[in-house]
Chain A
């Protein structure tokens, strides 16, 4: 069964606007972590933000915030004030304590920022 689902293959967003990337996950482990990575066209994997299952508040890192809805098993990434350099593939990933903390990745969402 798919552990991480990203339903948006591609999105367009206007420069300076906000964009939300959807991510839902499936786990029965009470201890898990959720990650978002950015992969620009150059290919490297860049860590953006982390949310732990026991964290009470939504994670934020600069222009990135994670909308964590635990009951819905949802961990959407919000990018505020989009910039041209935000154009990239974005991956949601999950690590479960019961799975030796190995990362499971979603299929990714391609974001294209328009000037």
Chain B
């Protein structure tokens, strides 16, 4: 039982390049989330998927797109990376009950030059 996995762990991009961050969970959770964490700050929600087949914007969606490929996988795409997107990206999942905590992946540290 791996929980929530993310790939890659580290990535360096040049401005304008694109990439996809992958996230998968093996806990049969319904809802999945993408957050970013900037230095010295809390996490901010980028996009989320309340259930398979649905996605919604969070607090900071600009510059990102997501795909809920199936129940297990939720990917985050940067179409044209900008230095302002340098951050640590966390994926999280939750079964769906109000008392459940979110389980977080280990994070992807992204630097955009």
Q: Assess the A105–B43 pair: CB atoms within 8 A.
A: yes
Q: Does A91 contact B (CB under 8 A)?
A: yes
Specify the main secondary structure of chain A where it touches its partner.
Answer: strand
Task: Kindly provide the distance from the CB of A18 to the nearest chain B CB, expressed in whole angstroms.
Answer: 24
Specify the main secondary structure of chain B where it touches its partner.
Answer: strand
Range for the number of chain A residues in contact with chain B? 20 to 34
Taking a contact as CB atoms closer than 8 A, the residue among A4, A95, A106 that contacts B98 in the complex is A95
| A 32-65 contacts with B by CB, 8 A | 33, 35, 37, 43-45, 47, 50, 52
| B 89-103 contacts with A by CB, 8 A | 90, 92, 94, 98-99, 101-103
Q: Assess the A50–B101 pair: CB atoms within 8 A.
A: yes
Q: Does B61 contact A (CB under 8 A)?
A: no
Q: Assess the B45–A103 pair: CB atoms within 8 A.
A: yes
Chain A interface residues toward B at CB < 8 A: 4, 31, 33, 35, 37, 43-45, 47, 50, 52, 91, 93, 95, 97, 100-108
Beyond contacts A45-B90, A102-B58: 12 other A-B pairs, Cβ-Cβ < 8 A, are A31-B98, A43-B88, A43-B106, A47-B101, A50-B99, A93-B42, A100-B50, A102-B45, A102-B48, A103-B45, A105-B44, A108-B42
